[in-house]
Amino acid sequence: MISVSFQGERGAYSEAAARSFFTENIETVPFATFAEVLENTSKDKTEYSVLPVENSLEGSVGESYDLLYSTSLNATGEIYHRIEHCLIGIGEINEVDTVYSHPQALGQCRKFIEEHKMKTIPAYDTAGSVKIIKELNKKNCACIASKTASLIYEVPIIAENIANNLNNYTRFLILSKKESEISGNDKTSIIFSIKHEPGSLYRIIENFHKNNVNLTKIESRPTRTNTWEYNFYVDFEGHQKDSKILEMLEKIKQDTLFLKVLGSYPSAKLS
């Protein structure tokens, strides 16, 4: 049986994404932090990790991108998982004045929270916030999590579909020590840094244009080592083992201070 590590408690969206990605029966293993998730796959305690990297409403998950820089694991897959937030608790909606959840979930439901004048308290996980509410057992306290988490911890749903936008998806990367072979519909993720000089980023981007390679994402993140210096995270169509992509990456490497290929994997579509 395939073992997959995820961050959070049972019923977390990461666990649901893992079960959606792997069509066969899997063993999901929960961990408290993203770092522990990746570490346990690196140590062969699990075969795969599932890591949220981007949300359609709140943008990138900064901590995940910082960990991708340092991990030795390969990105071998991706999945877009629909996020359907519920307000969960034992009280009525007019009794709730405090709501717990992961900061991303709180941000994704900001309009609902402000409309009902609720105070927010961040938790390390959406499903974990349901456990908190169950232990508190207070009518004025509720949390934001999934229907699945509500069922697992047997805490009632007060309101459904409370996100700012119902078109709410989170993109998850699947990581392992393995590499994915060419599927014909692939995406590659890389990280690089460049010199602080005019035209340095343009020279990198120009390579994609010359090779007719479509960029699907580009984002900068602070290096955390030197002030106001950045690493660039780029996703593009194609596989690193394709001769055209391989040649392009060699040219890009010449204009970077460092280049890391996170991995190539079949490109996912919205379900």
- Residue 93 tokens read as 């909606």
Residue 23 annotated to the active site: no
Residue 232 annotated to the active site: no
Catalytic residue among 170, 208, 232, 236: 170
- HSE-CB at 162 with a 13 A cutoff on CA atoms is 26
> Measured in Å, how far apart are the chain's first and last C-alpha atoms?
25
Amino acid at 24: E
Give the DSSP per-residue string, 8-71.
Answer: SSTT-HHHHHHHHH--S-EEEEEESSHHHHHHHHHTTSSSEEEEEEEETTTEE-HHHHHHHHH-
Residues 160, 153: Cα–Cα separation, whole Å: 17
Catalytic residue among 6, 172, 192, 236: 172
Helix or strand or coil: residue 131? helix
Measured CA angle at 92 (ends 91, 93), to 5 deg: 120
Contact 14, 172 (CB under 8 A): yes
Q: Which residues are catalytic?
A: 170, 172
